[in-house]
Amino acid sequence: MVNTVRQDDSRQGPPVPRTGRFYIYAIVLVASIGGFLFGFDLVVIAGALPFLVEDFHLSAAMQGFAVSSAILGAVSGPLCGMWFTERLGRRKTMMLAAFFFMISTIGTAAAAGIWDFAVWRFLGGVGIGLAMMSSPIYIAELSPPHLRGVLVNVNQLSNVIGINLAVITSYFFSFEGWGWRWMFAAQAVPVALLIAGLLLIPESPRWLAARNRVDEALKVLTRINGKEQSEQELKEIEKELQQETGVFSELFQPGIRTALFIGVVIMIFSQVNGVNMMLLYAPSILAEAGIRVGSNAILSSIPIYLLILLTTILAFGLIKRFSRRGLLITSVLLMALGHVIMAINLQLHWPPMFTLVPMLIGTGSFTLGLAPLSWIIVSEIFPNRIRSKALAVVCFFLYAASFVTAQVFPMLTNWFAATFNSAAGVYWIFATICVACAVFSWKMVPETKGLSLEKISEFWRDHHQHKTGQASLE
Report the distance separating Cα 456 and Cα 381, nearest Å.
Answer: 6
Pair 281, 408: CB distance under 8 Å: no
Query: Which residues, 6+ apart, have CB-to-CB distance to 113 below 8 Å?
Result: 56
263-272, 287-296, 302-311: least confidently modelled range: 287-296
- The answer to whether 377 touches 325, Cβ cutoff 8 Å, is no
330, pLDDT greater than 80 = yes
Would you state the pLDDT for residue 245? 60
Specify the CATH superfamily of domain 18-201+243-463.
MFS general substrate transporter like domains (1.20.1250.20)
| The dihedral sign for the CA sequence 328, 331, 333, 335 | negative
Rounded Cα distance between 146 and 12, Å, is 5
User: Are 109 and 184 spatial neighbours (Cβ–Cβ below 8 Å)?
Assistant: yes
- Average pLDDT for residues 437-448, to the nearest whole number? 88
Q: Domain-by-domain residue ranges, the chain? A: 18-201+243-463
The helix/strand/coil state of 471 is coil
pLDDT of residue 409: 79
Which of helix, strand or coil describes residue 293?
strand
Helix (H), strand (E) counts: the chain: 22, 0
User: Mean pLDDT over residues 266-284, rounded?
Assistant: 79
pLDDT of residue 52: 85
Alpha-carbon distance of 257 to 254, in angstroms, equals 6
For position 105, what pLDDT does the model report?
A: 92
**For 35-44, 150-159, 273-282, which range has the lowest pLDDT when averaged over its residues?**
273-282
Query: Residue 235: is its pLDDT beyond 80?
Result: yes
Q: What is the pTM of this model?
A: 0.73
The predicted pLDDT at position 274 comes to 84
| Dihedral angle sign, alpha carbons of residues 225, 226, 227, 229 | negative
Please report which confidence band the pLDDT of residue 345 belongs to, taking 50, 70 and 90 as the band edges. confident
Q: Binning pLDDT at 50, 70 and 90, where does residue 406 land?
A: confident
